[in-house]
Structure 1
């Protein structure tokens, strides 16, 4: 959860474009970020894959009024509304975008070329968004921003407690590198959401990403010694720590989705 989901960038900047707050070129540039190419395939009315600029315009012509994010995992279909075929593809990818009003969803498939373990610009990344029909229905288990913020405050305390029990400071270079990477991203002043989002959504997303980073660090702590769960010396301790992290990770994912979807929810409230 340390990395920003591509579905989040697509929904955030796509919503800004649909609201007339950014240009098509800026939206496409922000969505692609460090990736080389993004294409959308199987889009109604298009016989071949198209780029992001054309795809977003086409979605608007098909009736899309906003974009929502789904971040499902096995046993938790967060943000999904069906049908089963789309849910299965989204679950396999771990993320998806739903075009509200168009009855369509987009699921990313990632292709990478370059040295193993490399990073941009050494790795060439292409993203193909598969367009499929979706059910126009309330998304599963997405909280309001207020609910997400309250849940996150408690989750952050839980994650910090687990992290301290793992003694990350003495766990070795893997955990320390993860912590340094998170701090570098936090200090970079990056724009976590596109224009048009309420300040509370920015605050919730930043906190959700912080909690997610702590979870990643806790899981990596001690992996230098061949262990993925800190300094655990028994299977029961490993199981207990995994169980402690699971609800915290679930809360952080729910908050991320609530933040990315808040622009759509706000517009719908105004219309109502």
Structure 2
């Protein structure tokens, strides 16, 4: 719940690379993160078997790419998408995607995990491969993406709404699952991880941090054992449904804010152009 979308990392560090603020190797390392390998399929003019991130980003830049935008669509909410239907469907199935501005292309990740499962299994025992599929994208305004300023104001309201909803529905936010999730969040924050790449404004980092916090709270409230019981304080199907319905717009606001934060680089570039 507290790990950023791979498409977010690709958007942020790809933009920093295009701006000349980081080297190709540094960008690729940050995008890959703890995964084992990333390949890109379908880049025009590239090897049909797939190429590495540095070569793919270089090729897209040669094709006219000027920046990257994040999409985090959900059923009924094509957040950040601009078509055509084939790309929208792939991004919706994945829950994320990247629009390459200037190159009329988009990238959607397909993740394959192998190795034994279980919480006791170490990272070295698992292998994660990511294949980015490059697809044609329509050059059009992305759906439902707010400005950074709008997102920050909406998040402030969402935080208040979340607290009110959890209190009204008797979801205390305590218990082993909630405690572990919040502790993981605090540990990551205290470690000073870089939420965004060089070149992003401090306001974008602040908005992204708050958006992730809101999504974490919503996820905890929706998770089995979130307050030590299977459905929190809700004891009937009607109350469970009421909780989900009440939290849905809050989660939507947090997703919109995440997209606004990652896309603030493109927003600033557009402002300078005009």
TM-score range (shorter-chain normalised) is: over 0.9
Cα distance in 1 between the residues matched to 2:228 and 2:254: 28
Cα distance in 2 between the residues matched to 1:90 and 1:19: 26
Cα distance in 1 between the residues matched to 2:112 and 2:162: 33
Cα distance in 1 between the residues matched to 2:136 and 2:244: 36
Cα distance in 2 between the residues matched to 1:115 and 1:160: 38
Cα distance in 2 between the residues matched to 1:232 and 1:121: 39
Match runs of 1:93-104 below 5 Å: 93-104=94-105
CA contact (8 A) 2:173 2:227 kept: no
CA contact (8 A) 2:177 2:228 kept: no
2:244 is equivalent to residue 236 of structure 1: no
**What residue in structure 2 maps to residue 114 of structure 1?**
115
CA contact (8 A) 1:67 1:99 kept: yes
**What residue in structure 1 maps to residue 43 of structure 2?**
43
Match runs of 1:38-117 below 5 Å: 38-47=38-47, 48-117=49-118
TM-score computed with the length of structure 2 as normaliser = 0.94
Q: CA deviation at 1:176?
A: 1.6
Q: CA deviation at 1:224?
A: 8.5
Superposed CA RMSD: 1.5
Match runs of 1:65-214 below 5 Å: 65-117=66-118, 118=121, 120-164=123-167, 165-169=170-174, 172-214=175-217
TM-score computed with the length of structure 1 as normaliser = 0.95
Question: Which segment drifts farther, 218-227 or 42-51?
Answer: 218-227
Q: CA deviation at 1:243?
A: 0.8
CA contact (8 A) 1:166 1:231 kept: yes
Could you list the runs of 5+ residues in structure 2 that have no partner in the other structure?
none
CA change 1:198–1:59 in 2 (3 A) is: same
Could you list the runs of 5+ residues in structure 1 that have no partner in the other structure?
none
Cα distance in 1 between the residues matched to 2:70 and 2:127: 25
